[in-house]
């Protein structure tokens, strides 16, 4: 089993693209990259902790290679926005690929460079590629939020602008 970690704005919206695929063993919403230990949602949402909202994915690389995770990741985000994602603004909603080993680092750099060279976006790609920090699991009510609160999740996603961006650019 390997792990991957991605920041893509609101972590609620970053779970569904990866779930229920062969080789994906688990997805947890959480926080990473900040200065405080064991942060809470109330702290992180202020934007003062330095933490990103992230998803940590456990996967079997023989069934679902890391490169396929990257292929799923990029179309979920606006990789040109350094100040958040869609309606969610602030440092906690920045995008990043956190790598656990040199193979993930190299794959992430290659995928970013391919996207930049594709001409898909006029603005530069600002999604950072960083060493994986400590992952702090978010509160239980954030786990599988789309299943626990489908009506609110759907409304929030529709209002966010994420799906319109995805339709336009991907």
Check if 13 is active-site: no
**Which of 10, 32, 97, 132 does the annotation list as catalytic?**
10
Q: In 80-148, which ranges are continuous DSSP H helix?
A: 102-118, 145-148
Instruction: Take residue 6 and report the two structure tokens written for it.
Output: 């991605």
Among all chains, which residue has been given the structure tokens 């939020």? 145
Q: DSSP label at 91?
A: G
SS3 30: strand
Beta carbons of 162 and 85 less than 8 angstroms apart: yes
Give the helix/strand (H/E) hosting 95: strand 95-99
- Which residues, including other chains, have CB under 8 Å from residue 67's CB and lie 6 or more apart? 107, 111
What amino acid positions are annotated as catalytic residues? 10
């Amino acid at each position: 089993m390997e792990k991957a970690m991605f920041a893509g704005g609101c972590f609620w919206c970053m779970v569904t693209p990866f779930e229920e695929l062969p080789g994906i063993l688990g997805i947890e919403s959480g926080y990473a990259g900040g200065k405080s230990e064991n942060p809470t949602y109330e702290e992180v949402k202020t934007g003062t902790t330095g933490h990103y909202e992230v998803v940590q994915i456990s996967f079997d690389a023989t069934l679902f290679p890391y490169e396929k995770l990257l292929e799923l990741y990029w179309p979920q985000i606006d990789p040109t926005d350094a100040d958040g994602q869609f309606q969610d603004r602030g440092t906690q909603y920045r995008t990043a690929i956190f790598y656990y080993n040199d193979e993930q680092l190299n794959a992430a750099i290659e995928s970013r460079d391919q996207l930049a060279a594709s001409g898909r976006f006029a603005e530069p790609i600002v999604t950072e590629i960083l060493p994986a920090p400590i992952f702090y699991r978010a509160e239980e009510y954030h786990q599988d939020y789309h299943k626990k609160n489908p009506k609110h999740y759907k409304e929030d996603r529709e209002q966010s602008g994420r799906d319109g961006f995805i339709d336009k650019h991907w």
